[in-house]
Amino acid sequence: MKIIKKIIALCDAVNEWIGSYLVSAAVFIFIAVIFSNVVMRYVFNTSSVFMSEVEWHLFAFIFLMGAGYTLLHDRHVRVDIFYSTMGEKKRALVNLLGVLFFLLPSCYLVLTTSIPWVITSYTVGEVSIDPGGIPARFALKAVLPIAYCLILMQGLSLGLKSFLVLFGSGDGSGKPPLSQSGNQV
């Protein structure tokens, strides 16, 4: 049980740090880029392909890299009609089955298809097709497998927490059990 709890703690700590610091910093940069694009367009009557591409690259980075953090804090989209009325053990069973039959296969599929895609993009030195665009398109593509590794880590943590609730000694986090809404009580 100690090893399981250490794995949970490591997965949670990695996604907590990435969400709290890296993604949060990217949000501030994203806001600054949007602001500068608006000022350039409406005050100076000009625009930049590079800055427009930076904007959507940052959005993709925030969305992808924040997914594990979102799963950690149980803030992902869920059809909550039945889940919210379930007890802790039934919710743990739903989470465990969801991890095993949906999250793990999805991560496997994305990782096995995106890694060769990124390698090819890097090998050919893929750049933006627009003149003046971002010169390293492969950098954004590399975020996809990294993000799915983080989601996979958090899925592993969620699965192990659910396993501990079902067969062990709670979720191993030392936190109070989850309320009906998924928040701490």
DSSP string, 56-93: HHHHHHHHHHTHHHHHHTT-S---HHHHTTS-HHHHHH
pLDDT the model gives residue 82: 83
pLDDT of residue 11: 96
Residue 185 confidence (pLDDT) above 80: no
pLDDT interval class at 76 (50, 70, 90): confident
pLDDT of residue 179: 44
Rg of the chain (C-alpha set): 20
Share of the chain above pLDDT 70, in %: 91
Helices marked H in 124-177: 137-167
Considering only CA atoms, which of 2, 60, 61, 16 is closest in space to residue 154?
16
* Residue 44 token pair: 């100076």
The reported pLDDT for the residue numbered 170 is 61
**Which residues are within 8 A (CB) of 160 and not within 5 positions of it... i.e. 6 or more apart?**
4, 7, 8, 172
Write the DSSP symbol of residue 14. Answer: H
Say which residue the tokens 């996979």 belong to: 152
Each residue's pLDDT tens digit, 83-135: 888 899 999 999 999 999 999 999 999 999 999 999 999 999 998 888 888 88
| 171 in Cβ contact with 72 (< 8 Å) | no
Q: Look up the pTM and report it.
A: 0.86
What is the pLDDT at residue 155?
96
pLDDT, the chain, mean? 89
